[in-house]
Amino acid sequence: MRSRFEPDRQLTARMAVTMFLLGLLYVAFIAALIVLLKSVVLVVVIAAALLSAQYWYSDRIALYAMRGRLVTVEEQPRLHGVVDRLCASADMPKPRVAVSDMDLPNAFATGRNADHAVVCVTTGLMRRLETEELEGVLAHELSHVAHRDVAVITIASFLGVIAGLIVRFAFYSQLFGGRSQRDQNTAVVFLAVMAVSALVYAVSFLLIRALSRYRELAADRAAAMLTAKPSVLASALTKVSGDIARIPTEDLRTAQAFNAFFFTPALGPGTAVGNLFSTHPTLERRLEALAELSAQLGEAGGEPGRH
């Protein structure tokens, strides 16, 4: 799909490298499980089933987890109007539009390709943002679809998901299993599976987050270039980030599993997340990049996020 969103060769290159490295990691992981569990059919069937579910049903899974529902033009004319204008400007297919009834101010895009994409916003976001600010956020999400990094991050996250599930399964099997499972040979196999899965999870975790941080900067830039209003996007980013800090911790925990897909991470006050483990660049880094872009475009209105 070709659109008028500004292409980003660095993002394309990073996605290719990330998928290549994760592919190698995936092959090594499956091979290790086959050796340890001594069942080619079992490992391949489970891996294929989980990958298929992640690829084909990622949009439904995300909407269900975030309590989102598809909405019609009659239900949300303002939201559909903004998406229609942006898609016309970007010359791209219109994705399905969904709303999540959550006070958490955020938005995300998901789906395996442009023809099966969904853009979802929360009621908390729509209530807090002016129409121009909402336009900037939605342009950011649509750029993820146009750049195809939504599909890449969905597939890339699969390896971490399956490794994490295996670690949990092995742990609880040993913790709550019967005596027949506690013989020495079984214990050794389970420990080996847990060790391999934990290593794979850690490596995929770091690779995905490195890609995720860059893709957020790329989406900010592409959205600002499409709307020609970097300061408005920065204003929305500042407003949303500030309000998220005031959301109850319980609500944030519900959403944190989807941080890699969000416009801005659902992190509450006092959350110390190092740059190496963050799904997003810092707020300061994003505002700095938008300020530089605003200066390049000669945008009136001063420094982004400061008015």
Angstrom distance (rounded) from CA 116 to CA 55: 11
For the chain, the distance separating the N- and C-terminal CA atoms, rounded to the nearest angstrom, is 36
Unique residue bearing structure tokens 């959350």: 271
Chain centroid, CA 162 distance in Å:
17
Mark whether 141 is an active-site residue: yes
Angstrom distance (rounded) from CA 104 to CA 57: 24
**CB contact burial 219-256 (16+ within 10 A = b; e otherwise):** bbbbbbbbbebbbbbbbbbbbbbebbeebeeebbeebe
Angstrom distance (rounded) from CA 27 to CA 288: 40
Structure token digits, residue 301: 């209105």
Beta bridge partners of 262: 108
- Sequence-distant (6+) residues with CB within 8 A of 127 are 105
Radius of gyration of the chain (CA): 21
Angstrom distance (rounded) from CA 63 to CA 108: 10
Structure token digits, residue 205: 């975790």
HSE on the CB side for 214, CA within 13 Å?
17
Which of 6, 74, 75, 141 is labelled catalytic? 141
Looking at the annotation, which residues are catalytic?
Answer: 141
